[in-house]
Amino acid sequence: MLEQLIVSLMGRCGPFRICFHVSLLVACLAFVPWPVLASERGDAVVLDMAAAFKKGDRKRLTQLLPQARGHMLEPWAAYWELRARLDEASHSEIRDFLNRYPNTYQEDRLRNDWLLLLGSRRDWTTLAGEHPHYRMRDDRELQCYVLLVDFLEQGPKAPADLPDEVRRLWLSQREADEGCALAADRLYDAKKISTLSVWRKARLAAEHNRPRSARQAVNIVAPDALNGLQEAFGQPAKFLAQRIAAPQKTRQELVVIALIRIATSEPDVAAKLLTSKWTPYLTIEERNWVWGAIGRQSAMRLDDDALSHFGKVTKEQDLNDDMLGWKVRAALRAGDSPRWTAVESAIGAMSAEARRDPTWVYWLARAQMARHKNNPKLRQEALALLEGIAGVKGFYEQLAMEELGRKITAPPKPEPPSTVELDSMRQNPSLKRALYAIQMGLRTEGVREWNYATNLVNAQGQSGRMSDRDLLAAATLACEQQVWDRCINTSDRTREAIDFDLLFPMPHKDAVLQRTRDIGLDPAYVYGLIRQESRFVMDARSGVGASGLMQVMPATARWTARKIGMNNFTPEQITQRDVNIAIGTGYLKLVLDNFEGSMPLAAAAYNAGPSRSRKWRQGPTLEGAVWAENVPFHETRDYVKKVLSNATNYAAVITGEPQSLKARLGMVGPRDASAVADNTDLP
């Protein structure tokens, strides 16, 4: 093949100078091993195809595909080429692809895409025939299509819980999609989904500012009201001012939507409108829902009257789980003695699925222990709830351990994977492709294939979950390759065996420990934060521009560099390991000192900005867990809890001593008057 390349190059020579340079290039190529040359050329082709796929360049993909044949990532190349023209591909082409790449992520991914296309085309027969072969089963829109097919085929004999499942999927969809909306529409026509359920979908869309979802829902129950919906959604105050109160279902629901829209920005105004005018004209359920929306928004603003708004609700079962969750948070925030009765009743009104969440298991147990101190039976029930979630993996799991009187320690290390177990993972085709893709820079594709392999394909390459031993071996392989995020995520899915070396690795240990010693920062806290920020991916970059191990924003990096005396800093240096660690830890130390050493406040400030953390600390002094649970932003709330949980486990690893998450959380409240002045210079 090398000789053919030389002949081809020489045959294209024209002027002498061009021939000379071609000859020199050929002479150099002669010393490069052909497999290496071919591999690098194949990598370039695959990267070119990845770029063409993102651009939607069908012609380029088709041109390049023959050159990707035989490459490690050929299944990806073939997937991109066919996916880009899936709407035009024949069924035989699609089936040829599925047969050519059996038991791969790409096969299942394309089948998912094809099934959605079949649903949009109403090709129910082909969809029903192909769906049993689909393994991932994680696409909610597709689930709705399949449920609709079942309903159309079986009619009255369809499972009794089918409408409930469609309703659950539809209400949980964040954005509008055709599959669930179509299923809801057909079931509504068949009187299997109630009018109220459809209006509740519209209400949720109004609360979360999703006009397309609201239109989809209203179009099912009241298509003539779409113009009114547009005004109620976009100009709610004007809509309410022009409406004459009258007991008519569609008009009432549009009033509810308008009140919800006002509540999203001005909950007190919505409360006044509901009290002063609209209460007599709404049903009890409608009033309860609006009060729930007002209470939720007030609780998210950390308003003192949030719990009083929730108190206007006469039947908590009329609220959804999100509203009830915010009622619990508002009750917990109600000063030194949380209103445990409200906590207990709100959690009791949640769905069975929500009540299984460790968050609400923990707080229900705390409420029962506080309220029923003299009732041995109920106290034992509370202890049983805590015992059911207690463990080292998770924020509330750790807090449950401490409520039971146990400290957090690193569990005994399981037996390491054997050579045979490791070799099995090294030879796993999906894992090999995943690692190769990540090493090439195709991290998204590599992560997806890795997750597929470790979730849905067992060690023998057959459909089925990996065992704990297999997961530990796969995680060990990822750690050996320094693909830390897959090492962590894979080991986190073991059910019995827990290996802290894999779950809480310490890359760059010497650099991190030295730096934290130099500036007086807890290394466990730093590792807990890095693990959450980047999973130790050196080139990680967020959607807002944060970079590197500690995900530092450019403006923050420049400010911190000046503060810590790092001269001649340039923004491109932030991806360098030592620079990123120096600036990230330097900023974290400044933030931590500014918040009097409070780890929860500093973590929230690192994620959402110091100004927000300052605002959120105002009000009553709270135990750290209560404060963290009341952080208004879901992302930051989750972040704070995970950073503190991580830090507790890292401390157990680093010190070898039992640890307390509660001690790290401490108490959180307004700045003490005697504290050092607030450094408002923090970016």
Helix, strand counts (H, E) of the chain: 40, 2
- For residues 615 and 300, give the distance between their C-alpha atoms in angstroms, rounded to a whole number: 12
Closest Cα partner for 307 from 294, 289, 325, 295?
A: 295
Helix, strand, coil tally for the chain in percent (to 5): 70, 0, 30
CA distances from 292 to 284, 318, 328 (A): 12, 9, 12
Average pLDDT over every residue of 295-305: 97
Q: Is the pLDDT of residue 504 over 90?
A: yes
Residue of 673 and 90 predicted with greater confidence: 90
Q: Which helix (H) or strand (E) holds 667?
A: strand 667-668
**Contact indicator for 446, 434 with CB cutoff of 8 Å:** yes
With 0-12 / 13-18 / 19 or more C-beta atoms within 10 angstroms meaning exposed / middle / buried, residue 525 is buried
The per-residue pLDDT of the chain, averaged, comes to 91
Confidence of residue 202 (pLDDT cuts 50, 70, 90): very high
**Any idea what the Cα angle at residue 369 is, between residues 399 and 398, rounded to 5°?**
10
**Contact indicator for 667, 621 with CB cutoff of 8 Å:** yes
Q: What is the pLDDT of residue 4?
A: 40
Closest Cα partner for 320 from 292, 343, 282?
A: 292
- For residues 166 and 100, give the distance between their C-alpha atoms in angstroms, rounded to a whole number: 34
How many CA atoms, within 13 angstroms, populate the side-chain half-sphere of residue 174?
1
Average pLDDT over every residue of 467-491: 97
Average pLDDT over every residue of 13-25: 44
Q: What is the pLDDT of residue 619?
A: 92
Q: Give the residue carrying structure tokens 């992520």.
A: 105
Tokens (6 digits) for 293: 């929306």
Closest Cα partner for 626 from 585, 569, 665?
A: 665
Average pLDDT over every residue of 273-277: 96
Confidence of residue 248 (pLDDT cuts 50, 70, 90): confident
pLDDT one-digit tens code per residue, 80-94 = 999 999 999 999 999
Q: Is the pLDDT of residue 456 over 90?
A: no
Q: Is the pLDDT of residue 27 over 70?
A: no
- For residues 104 and 98, give the distance between their C-alpha atoms in angstroms, rounded to a whole number: 9
Q: Is 552 helix (H, G, I), strand (E, B) or coil?
A: strand
Q: What is the pLDDT of residue 660?
A: 98
Q: Is the pLDDT of residue 680 over 70?
A: no
Q: Is the pLDDT of residue 681 over 80?
A: no
Confidence of residue 30 (pLDDT cuts 50, 70, 90): very low
- Which of 2.60.15.10, 2.140.10.10, 1.10.1740.10, 1.10.530.10 is the CATH number of 509-668? 1.10.530.10
Confidence of residue 242 (pLDDT cuts 50, 70, 90): confident
Domain coordinates of the chain in residue numbers? 1-31, 419-498, 509-668
Tokens (6 digits) for 144: 């709705």
Out of 8-17, 115-124, 371-380, 594-603, least confident range: 8-17
Q: Is the pLDDT of residue 7 over 90?
A: no
Q: What is the pLDDT of residue 249?
A: 87
Query: Which residues on adjacent β-strands are paired with residue 623?
Result: 667
Residue of 56 and 29 predicted with greater confidence: 56
Q: What is the pLDDT of residue 345?
A: 96
**Any idea what the Cα angle at residue 180 is, between residues 168 and 138, rounded to 5°?**
75
Residues 6+ apart with CB under 8 A from 410: 392, 500, 649, 652, 653, 656
Confidence of residue 41 (pLDDT cuts 50, 70, 90): confident
- For residues 543 and 532, give the distance between their C-alpha atoms in angstroms, rounded to a whole number: 16
Average pLDDT over every residue of 305-319: 97
Q: What is the pLDDT of residue 541?
A: 76
pLDDT one-digit tens code per residue, 145-155 = 999 999 999 98
Residues 6+ apart with CB under 8 A from 161: none
What distance lies between CA 195 and its chain's CA centroid?
A: 32
Q: What is the pLDDT of residue 17?
A: 41
pTM, whole model, 2 decimals?
0.91
Residue of 335 and 142 predicted with greater confidence: 142
